[in-house]
Every structure is written in C-alpha cells, then in structure tokens.
Amino acid sequence: MNKFLIQMVNDWWNAEGMDFGKFLTELSDDNSFLEKLHISDRINVFNYAKIDVIHSDVEAKNYLLKEICGELAEQVLASKHSVSSNELFDDDDNFHEQFQDEFNRLYDRIEEQMTHLNNNNT
C-alpha cells in the first residue's frame, strides 16, 4: 500500500477525523477501538470525508456511505459485546436476533456522523 496515502490518512485521522474517532471509541466502549480499526476502513472514512459533493457520482458516494456504515457498525457491535464479527451472525448470515436492533441503531448514528463529516470537509 502506498506509504504516502497511509501517512495522509493517518494525518487526517489525527486532525480533522479526531472527533469522529472519539465518537467511534465512545460507541464501542473500547478505548483501543481505533487502534484495531483496519487501515482499509480508515481509508474509506477518509475518502468519504473528502468526496466533493458537487463533482462526485451520487450513487457511488451513497454506496460508499452504506459500505462504511455497515462495516463500522458491525465492528462497534462486536467490540461492545467482546465477540468476533462472525459471532454476530447466524448460519444464514443474518444477525442474531439479539444484535439486529442494536446494529440498526449504531448504523443510523454512524451514518448521521458520516454525513456531517462529509459536509464539514467539502
């Protein structure tokens, strides 16, 4: 992976993305949540925050938003319950009933913050 990109992403997370990082840490009840967040997820959040709303493909932007929100909500949920992501799902790849409502709430909260993140950085 491009070292320049990684440095740029990490710099953004330590500056403009810091409040969003604190938000995720609080949601997860895990002070080390951000340290565990994979670089690809950090890059996706960075890319979404930097999308130029006027010049971007709205469909692609919405797809990226849904992908990020789902991934982060799943990771936060797993962290909150100290389980692996796999343990959240049944054999049919649906959330176990006890996790579905909480996932939905987390997704909505993350989506709201992501929308503000993009609006503040364009």
Mean pLDDT within 49-55: 71
Mean pLDDT within 52-81: 88
Q: What is the 3-state secondary structure (H, E, C) of 38-82?
A: CHHHHHHHHHHHHCCCCCCCHHHHHHHHHHHHHHHHHHHHHHHCC
Greater model confidence, 2 or 1: 2
Kindly indicate the confidence band of residue 100, based on its pLDDT and cuts at 50, 70 and 90. very high
**pLDDT 10s digits, 102-114:** 999 999 999 999 9
Greater model confidence, 45 or 121: 45
Give whole-number Cα distances, 15 to 22, 53, 100, 103, 121, in Å. Answer: 12, 21, 33, 28, 12
CA–CA gap between residue 34 and residue 28 (Å, rounded): 10
**The predicted structure's pLDDT at residue 57:** 79
**Is pLDDT at 119 greater than 90 in this prediction?**
no
Mean pLDDT within 43-55: 81
Mean pLDDT within 22-33: 94
